[in-house]
A and B are shown apart, each in its own frame.
Chain A
Amino acid sequence: MSRQYEFLQGARDMLPMLLGAIPFGVIFGSLAGAAGLGPWEIMGMSLLVFAGSAQFIAISLLGGGATLAVIWLTTLVVNLRHALYSATLQPFVRHLPKRWRMPLAFWLTDEAFAVVQHRYAASDDSPHKHWYFLGAALAMYGNWQLCTLIGLLFGQAVPNIGAWGLDFAMLATFIGIVVPMLRNRPQVAAALVAGGVALVCHDLPYKLGLMAAAGAGIVVGVVLERRYRLLQDEVY
């Protein structure tokens, strides 16, 4: 498949994710001003940081008067999941030069990760899958900037935009990614354990509960997978 085809296919496969991200970006653009960011700073954060959940946490902490160090530490913990994504995709991008790996890493969001790892898992041996990654990443990036700008310019026109519950769009997106992955018992167990631990640990500081939950889910998935394999070995 040609580079151009991969690029366009990546952007196209991202379209459903864009729908889920639109409300999120618009609310960020609308609410960041109240936390004390100026218009250029709001756009600057979306352009330079490009991490929805971290941006939201930053403005809520900023509005509550947190120090820089606390916001940075929370950003780190909340974004540690990206190190897991980075590790998951590393075997597929390791052959690329740095001028590819660096920008692709900058654009590695939850949504891009979900779409791109699916493409890399496909059995064809297209040498241009990184163009697919680029197409998906740029679609997400452009959409995020546009939505931030729309929120910034027009958010005030919508009464009480923060109370509409538009954050549900992110949950719907993540549900749409996860549920089709639950094809065997270790995956189902990983989801249930991660969800349960996240509930129990929800009031840990700096969002540490997220990483505790992710770690627990991964361990349970691996343990069960090994046990199932042993059982199968005994049967055959």
Chain B
Amino acid sequence: MDNWMLILGMLVITFATRYSLFAFPDLRFPPLVRQGLHYVPTAVLSAIVVPGMLLPDGQQWNLSLDNAYLLAGLATIAIAAVTRHLLATIGGGLLAFFLLRWWLGQMPI
């Protein structure tokens, strides 16, 4: 029961944030806000990616050379910059990541 309360609450909260501005079709943004919105994808996704590479467990800095998240992340950035192709980036990045983990002996089997 408690778990369904949790899920329904999360549904309401998530939908409220996603629908927040769609709910007001007559609202028009001033130019400054519209300019700021151009930076939303870059700022939000960078704020997720950078800690994901440098603090892979969310707590501890890991700047060592056996941090596969950091090394493969840098390789993925390079692939993205060169190819500008999403599928190549995701596929190549994952391949780099698992090769590194295997080479570093970090696979769980």
User: Whole-angstrom distance between the alpha carbons of A153 and B42 in the complex?
Assistant: 36
Produce 1/0 per residue, B35-57, CB < 8 A to A: 11111111111111111111100
Majority DSSP secondary structure for residues of B touching A: helix
Report the minimum CB–CB distance from B62 to chain A (whole Å). 12
| Residue A38 at the chain B interface, CB threshold 8 Å | yes
B: interface residue count bin = 35 or more
Answer whether A198 and B36 are a contact pair too, CB < 8 Å, given A49-B10, A50-B14: no
B87 pairs with A16, CB closer than 8 A:
yes
Residues of A within 8 A of B97 (CB): 165, 168, 172
Contact of A210 among B22, B24, B33, B47 (CB under 8 A): B47
Q: What is the CB-to-nearest-CB distance from B10 to chain A, in angstroms, rounded to a whole number?
A: 5
> In the bound complex, what is the Cα–Cα distance between A181 and B58 (angstroms)?
26
Smallest beta-carbon distance A182→chain B, Å:
7
B94 touches A82 (CB 8 A): no
A81-B40, A88-B41 given; 19 more Cβ-contact pairs under 8 Å: A17-B86, A41-B4, A49-B14, A85-B18, A87-B29, A87-B40, A90-B21, A90-B22, A108-B18, A171-B73, A175-B77, A176-B76, A178-B45, A194-B47, A198-B50, A209-B51, A218-B36, A222-B32, A222-B35
